[in-house]
Chain A
Amino acid sequence: MSLLFPLMRRDPIWRFMPFAVLAGFGALALDLKSPALQGGIAGIVGSLYMAFLGQARIHERASTFEAALPIDGRDLLRARLASLLLFLWLPVAVALLVCLWFGPAQAVRLAWPLGSAAMAASATVVLLQLYGLPRIGVAKAVALAAWLSVLVICIAVAFLVHPEPGATSPLLGLAAIGLLIAAGAFRAWPKSSLALQLSPVELQRADLPASAATTGDPGSWVVLLRSLLNTQTTVWFGFAAFYPLLNNFVMPLCFVPGYVTGAYMSLRWMFPLPISRRRILGVILLPFLALYAISAMVNLTWGIGSDGDQAIDPRPAGLRLASPWWKHVAAGETPVVQAPWGETHSPQIKRVWLVRSYNPWETGPENSRQFRDWQFRRATQAVFGQEVDWADRARLDDLRPLNRRPVENILNVAALLFLSMFLVSFILIPRWSRISHLPAPVRKYGVMALLLPFVAALAFSPILAEPLGNTGILDVFSMAWADTVRANPVAAWSTVLLVLWLMYALLGKQFSELEPDNQPASAKGRSPFGGGLFS
């Protein structure tokens, strides 16, 4: 037990703590600012946790170095589990404590979504750790049970990200079962032989079947696919495709650093070969961007992002409207809506950074019901191409809005791609030969300092763009810009392609000036912040 804390202190997970805490506070701020987002908080926190954990090699109990030391395997397992679980629960505890300052009700309300996410992640961590046990000789039935439990917990996490009413209790039960299995395996561990405990890391899997010999030419590009599509990058590809389909367009941007680092590490063997760096960049970046763009475009065009209730949400207090129909207004101007019978309303101006916008079909508490109905009919005419009476507002579910108009969709997707490339450009900076003369800490932490405002802006964009939703900030900008080119789709396409091409060309230039291996081999790590692009 005396070794527990020294081992915990060495755990590589702690280097991710500042980011996890930031994510926790970001989620907390979102929750306090927009209680309506409460259900999504678990998703945000859970996703960020999983992103960090994915980088932290949570399936390993110890490094090769530690495994070679005369340390009881139980101590290694305890220390690793304790570190991982503390990592998961500490930000939750901090967030809840901070929340208490706003009142016990706030903390109670936040406890379930945050706790759910942390609990599911904990179960995954525990079971992934235990999955290692069968590989050193524990019965295969236990291995199968552990794997099934992992599968169940993963499904539970997925549901907790977007909770369904009534689904949480069974999920809680499943997670509890998973934890029970974990506890059982943990109890069984001391009964295994001392030799196993002393060498708990199986570095080479002996059970891998030998591949069949082949003399045929497998095709020159197969090796690229095999290199790029490993477990880690496949997870990132999955996120890039999955989140936009769930109407979360911003989240994949948070995964861009993880993906690029993983892909870079997988393809760095190509750097000494006569292949242009721009091609390597294309191999790394284009599949991810294509998947991201296609997924976003599919959702915006045919998916839930194009649904009527995403465009107009009639509420007794007023009409909530998606961003593409907001109008922008110059500084100093005050828009006034006047009905034919003379009744007026001055819509509230929403300011997102430098863009001032307003909902042209807004009504106020001072307005008459006639005015509200009139505004609603005008809004539905504009959004759906046909007038709908307030009394028939249930019909909105069956209508599809004229939006997402292609121009806005294109601009929004282009903006996401631009931001992705912008982010990639940032994370390449530490290895950029042009600044290789700067001290490594300056390069590494300087980039992180530069990145923070950018990530914060992304994380808080739903607040800034409220009530426009998580693509609001992009929508507002694209709307402001699209007004000037809507009449000319050719101009829109040309501008988009030109900007994206310029960004990609700049990125290609930067990538071709990247120094892939400017650190001694012994200093390289496998995490994005301990090695790879950030070393």
Chain B
Amino acid sequence: MKPVLEFDNIHRAYKAGEDVLAGVTFSLREGEVLGLLGRNGAGKSTLIRIAMGLIVPHQGTVRVFGAEPTGDPVGVRRRIGYVAEDQVLPPAATIAELIAFHKMLFPKWDSTIEADLLDRFSLSRGEKIRNLSKGQARQVALLCALCHRPELLILDEPAGGLDPAARREFLEASIQLLNREGSAILFSSHHMGDVERLGGRIILLDQGKVALDDDLDNLREGISLAFLPASSGRQQTIAAMPGCLRVHEANGELHAIFRGAPDSVSARLYAATGGAAIRCGQAPLEELFVEMVGGRR
């Protein structure tokens, strides 16, 4: 399948000498769902804004549908749906006015989806954006992003700040589009529940680089988390072992993340450490996230 989005060695800084992104490379294929994970400030939103052509990389190239997003911004954005947590909608406009404006911009606007989503979200066309709740405003943004049947849906912390019911409603609408249209989805989120609901491939950004890039299923089943007592030189020994993704010390214990099944990882660690007491098991996604990026600041 052709890639719809390609990042190649992307660098970007907001302060001189402090790269937010320091050599990010990956691509997203047609119909693929990719979740961007990372701590606050990891560069998720920056990467998404670069994909949207809203900001430019200081080094490296980005291609959306084979074109530079800043080279043909109108053509590229016509094929993208975009929802962001801090997205601004015109507060004085009514929903109907906003929809009319989007209809003009997107020739492939589907009024059936529009009516369906308006009904599903119980939105009134005559309501002004400024009078909507945060969740309703996000639903309007999603409606505007979905109704032109985008080939690429970009969601930047789309459900941030929404209550569980609104978040589920939001994600189900996105998933429905995915099933119906086969759109590629790039989303960023802090909520592991959202990530697990949307599924697909996960990329973990840490310190401006891709720290982890794998399918959700592989992460669920193929990653193990081991705890063992800290001792002199042991951390370096474990870090040098094949399959070790990260090892760090916390409260006198070493926390090690490995690719592989718990039994296999446990056995290898036992051999490498000369019989240390080891607890090893599969790591839930949230635990994996915390262990991969936690404790660095």
Contact = CB atoms under 8 A, between A and B. Distances in A.
Interface of A: 208, 210-224, 226-227, 230, 266, 268-269, 271-277, 433, 436-440, 512-513, 515-521
A222 B105 contact: no
B74 A274 contact: yes
Interface stretch (B10-18, B24-32, B226-234): B10-18
Given A213-B124, A213-B125, A437-B16, A226 B92 contact: yes
Given A227-B90, A274-B105, A274-B106, A440 B14 contact: yes
A223 B125 contact: no
B1 interface: no
A226 B92 CA distance: 6
Given A266-B90, A276-B73, A214 B101 contact: no
21 contacts: A210-B127, A210-B131, A211-B131, A213-B124, A215-B125, A218-B97, A222-B97, A227-B92, A269-B90, A272-B52, A273-B105, A274-B76, A275-B74, A277-B73, A439-B16, A440-B14, A515-B55, A515-B56, A516-B54, A518-B55, A521-B85
A217 B94 contact: no
A519 B12 CA distance: 12
Interface in B125-142: 125-128, 131
A211 B52 CA distance: 34
Contacts of B88: 268-269
Contact of A226 (B73, B90, B103): B90
A521 B87 CA distance: 10
Contact of B126 (A211, A219, A515): A211
A404 to B, nearest CB: 39
Nearest to B90: A227
A217 B86 CA distance: 27
A129 to B, nearest CB: 23
Given A223-B98, A226-B97, A269-B87, 17 more contacts: A211-B94, A211-B126, A213-B126, A214-B94, A214-B125, A219-B97, A220-B101, A222-B97, A222-B101, A272-B82, A273-B102, A273-B105, A274-B74, A274-B77, A433-B55, A436-B55, A517-B54
B49 interface: yes
Nearest to B16: A439
A269 B56 contact: no
A275 B53 CA distance: 12
B104 interface: yes
A269 B49 contact: no
B54 A271 contact: yes
Nearest to A216: B96
Nearest to A214: B126
Contacts of A215: 96, 125-126
Interface string B103-126: 111100000000000000000111
Interface in B1-25: 13-16
A227 B98 CA distance: 11
B73 A274 contact: yes
Query: What 8 pairs between A and B have smallest CB-CB spacing?
Result: A213-B126, A274-B77, A220-B104, A274-B78, A226-B92, A227-B90, A521-B86, A223-B97
Contacts of B105: 273-275
B26 to A, nearest CB: 22
Contacts of B58: 436-437
Residue of A208, A213, A268 with most partner-chain B CB within 10 A: A213
> How many B residues touch the partner, as a band?
35 or more
Interface string B253-266: 00000000000000
Majority secondary structure, A binding face: loop
B271 interface: no
B13 A222 contact: no
Nearest to A213: B126
Interface in B26-85: 41, 49, 52, 54-56, 58, 70, 73-78, 82, 84-85
Nearest to A269: B88
B93 interface: yes
Contacts of A516: 54
A211 B128 contact: yes
Contact of A515 (B54, B76, B87): B54
B165 interface: no
A517 B100 contact: no
Nearest to B75: A274
Contact of A272 (B77, B90, B100): B77
Contacts of B55: 433, 436, 515, 517-518
A296 B106 CA distance: 39
A276 B100 contact: no
A221 B100 CA distance: 8
A269 B98 CA distance: 11
Contacts of B124: 213
B250 interface: no
A210 B124 CA distance: 11
B89 interface: yes
Contacts of B16: 437-439
A208 B131 contact: yes
B96 A214 contact: yes
A416 to B, nearest CB: 30
Contacts of A519: 14
A446 B88 CA distance: 29
A379 to B, nearest CB: 54
Contacts of A269: 87-90
Nearest to A434: B56
Residue of B84, B85, B89, B126 with most partner-chain A CB within 10 A: B126
Residue of B78, B89, B98, B103 with most partner-chain A CB within 10 A: B98
Given A227-B90, A274-B106, A217 B96 contact: yes
B78 A218 contact: no
Residue of A208, A266, A436, A438 with most partner-chain B CB within 10 A: A436
A230 B85 CA distance: 24
A230 B90 CA distance: 11
Nearest to B154: A272
B93 A439 contact: no
B49 A517 contact: yes
Contacts of A221: 101, 104
Contacts of B74: 274-276
A62 to B, nearest CB: 21
A217 B82 CA distance: 23
Contacts of A213: 124-127
B249 to A, nearest CB: 31
Contacts of B127: 210-211, 213
B134 to A, nearest CB: 12
Contacts of A226: 90, 92-93, 97
Nearest to A437: B58
Given A217-B96, A224-B101, A272-B52, A439 B126 contact: no
Contacts of A210: 127, 131
Contacts of A274: 73-78, 105-106
Residue of B70, B77, B85, B88 with most partner-chain A CB within 10 A: B88
Contacts of B102: 273
A219 B97 CA distance: 7
Nearest to A229: B92
Contacts of A211: 94, 126-128, 131
A57 B186 CA distance: 38
Contacts of A268: 88
B93 to A, nearest CB: 4
Contact of B56 (A227, A266, A436, A520): A436
Contacts of B76: 274
A222 B82 CA distance: 22
